[in-house]
Amino acid sequence: MEFEEFARAETPRLLGLAYALTGNPHDAWDLTQEAMVRVGLRWRRLAAQNPGGYARTVVVRLNIDRARRRRREVLTDRSPDRAVPVDVIDELPAWLVEALAELTPQQRAAVVLRALEDLDHATIAARLGCSTGTARSHLSRGLARLRERAPEEV
Amino acid sequence: MKEMDQMDEEWQQALRGGELRATGDAVGLIAAEVRRRRHRRRAVATAGVAGVAATALVAAVLSSGPEQRRAADPVAAPDPGDVLFSCADSAVDDSSLNLPDDVREQWEADLEAIEETTFSGFAVKHATVTGLGVIVLVTGDVDAAREVLEGDYDAVVVHGWDASGPSVGLDEDGQTSVVGQWTLEPAKKAALRVTREVRGFAGLAYWDSAGAILLQWKEPVPAQVQALESLTFAEGGRIVVKGVPYSLKEAGAAMNRVQQAMQSGQIAGRWTMSSPCNDGTGIEIGIDPSSLGDRRAELQEELAQIAGMPVMVVPEEPAVALMMPGGG
């Protein structure tokens, strides 16, 4: 399979994951593009392995990194209306985006990976780059906090 | 599984229902960016082969003191939204590399240059930028790989790829992590040595993303312990000392007091587990959810009085129940 063929097939799935992680289409596109570019740069080696898994891991880790940086930085040069090559087909409900935004990036990633991809603790740990115990803790606390913050919906 | 069984189906459906669609030129934009970076990367690799200043820069950074290399606090800042006391999720923040940006960028350039090159006598199976530098797993002549790569780049650790690793759950990332921890062994031994001589040990953790061993010590940290931060190790790695409010021994005594109080019936609720907080700020007590109800805040306060330090109460099924089929 050529990289562009892979990108065409995998981008929709990656966008879905990135949208759930970030809650907005602009950041979702940024994450998806960066992850696909990293796969593209390593295509010769990844093609025979699991490029989709690699791309999804990159999306998850980049999002955590992005969230950490944002906590420390005041972003003033970012236009929420800038054009990105994605259309919103089905919007995430506002209450859900707000509830997810209350979680730490790791908790949010753990919850999303469990809900969207039905991953077990060990695989979530691999995606997050942490131990299984820590992943279990992120998932458990993330779910608990979701219930606390949005009791009427969750 | 277990957790998701308790979640409202509507919530999951809503999350799964969000959908974005890439428009026509999305893949073209990605491919163009890949080409642009390949071009830039070739320029970086050429500069690396020619010589030069790049590696000297890394050497200068690596030889600088721990204060200069430290980039982030090992424990993520507490969430201001939390009202109740809460332990940190982990002793260290490994969510991304804790390196100065210039160091990280240099190591990423080294990684890309290594990945682009075809070597004689060995092949690169996997290479990753870590807190210790670029860890490279190779097949073929490992000694030759060490001579070439560790000679050409200042922050590269070379190790042989274990082909049997994946069959026991050690894929590329797993083997990279193991190599990183082997590299940190001398630092870990030096950190543990002092625990036999000085009182106040609170915990020790591999801090992979910073290429360090984190040593937690009860505050005020004695000078003899603080001095460990100035040690350097031929293999790489360093020790980061962090002062915390409570020693491991104090946390152990507090856990005993709480367990006894709960098991004697002094406090209502079914105790299921005790653990020191990862960040040395208190203890974590598990209570059977069926006996906890909505008393978490109240219980945390009562138990903190008994413990003599902050207590985080978490709903935790008894261990036996967790081992039952379907118990998560």
CB contact under 8 A, B38 and A41: yes
pLDDT tens across B9-45, in order?
567 778 888 888 888 678 888 988 887 777 655 443 3
Domain of residue B191: give its range: 184-244
Q: Residue B326's pLDDT is what?
A: 40
- Asked if the structure places residue B226 within a domain, the reply is yes
Nearest Cα to Cα of residue B84 among B298, B262, B287, B235: B298
pLDDT tens across B52-106, in order?
333 222 333 333 333 333 333 444 333 333 468 888 766 776 666 777 878 888 8
CB contact under 8 A, B15 and A126: no
Domain boundary among B199, B219, B244: B244
Cβ proximity of A54 and A39 under 8 Å: yes
Nearest to A134 among B22, B23, B90 (CB): B90
- Asked if the structure places residue B192 within a domain, the reply is yes
Task: Looking at the structure, tell me whether residues B226 and B292 fall in a common domain.
Answer: no
In chain A, positions 117-146, which contact chain B (CB-CB < 8 Å)?
120, 126, 128-130, 134, 137-141, 143-144, 146
- Asked if the structure places residue B253 within a domain, the reply is yes
Domain boundary among B225, B244, B263: B244
Q: How far B197 CA sits from the closest chain A CA (Å)? A: 31
CB contact under 8 A, B95 and A106: yes
Count of domains in chain B? 2
Task: Looking at the structure, tell me whether residues B289 and B236 fall in a common domain.
Answer: no
Assign residue B317 the CATH number of its domain: 3.30.300
Q: How far B223 CA sits from the closest chain A CA (Å)? A: 31
pLDDT tens across A48-104, in order?
778 888 888 889 888 887 776 554 443 333 444 557 788 888 899 888 888 888 888
Domain boundary among B229, B244, B259: B244
- Asked if the structure places residue B265 within a domain, the reply is yes
Bridge-partner residues for B314, per DSSP?
B286
Assign residue B201 the CATH number of its domain: 3.30.1340
Cβ proximity of B206 and B181 under 8 Å: yes
Over 50: is that where the pLDDT of B328 sits?
A: no
Nearest to B17 among A90, A129, A130 (CB): A90
What are the chain A neighbours of B93 within 8 Å (beta carbons)? 68
- Asked if the structure places residue B60 within a domain, the reply is no
Alpha-carbon distance values, B298 to A114, B237, B276, B310 (Å): 32, 44, 20, 13
Q: Which residue has the higher pLDDT, A59 or A44?
A: A59
Cβ neighbours, 10 Å, residue B233: 16
- The label of the residue with tokens 């469990």 reads A114
Residues of B with CB under 8 A from a CB of A: 1, 3-4, 6-8, 10-12, 14-27, 29-31, 33-34, 37-38, 41, 76-77, 79, 81, 89-90, 93-96, 112, 115, 173, 315
* 3-class secondary structure, B250: helix
A129: left (phi over 0), alpha (psi -120 to 50) or beta: left
Question: pLDDT band for position B308 (50/70/90)?
Answer: very high
Task: Looking at the structure, tell me whether residues B236 and B270 fall in a common domain.
Answer: no
CB contact under 8 A, A90 and B18: yes
| DSSP letter string, B61-97 | HHTS-HHHH--S-SSPPPPTT--S----S-SS--SS-
ipTM score assigned to the predicted complex: 0.85
Cβ proximity of B237 and B214 under 8 Å: no
Set out the domains of chain A in order of their start, with CATH numbers.
1-89 (no CATH), 93-154 (1.10.10.10)
Determine phi and psi for B49, rounding to 5 degrees.
Answer: -65, -40
Q: Residue A149's pLDDT is what?
A: 64
- Asked if the structure places residue B257 within a domain, the reply is yes
CB contact under 8 A, B96 and A19: no
Q: For residue B220, say if its preceding peptide bond is cis, omega within 30 degrees of 0.
A: yes
- Asked if the structure places residue B188 within a domain, the reply is yes
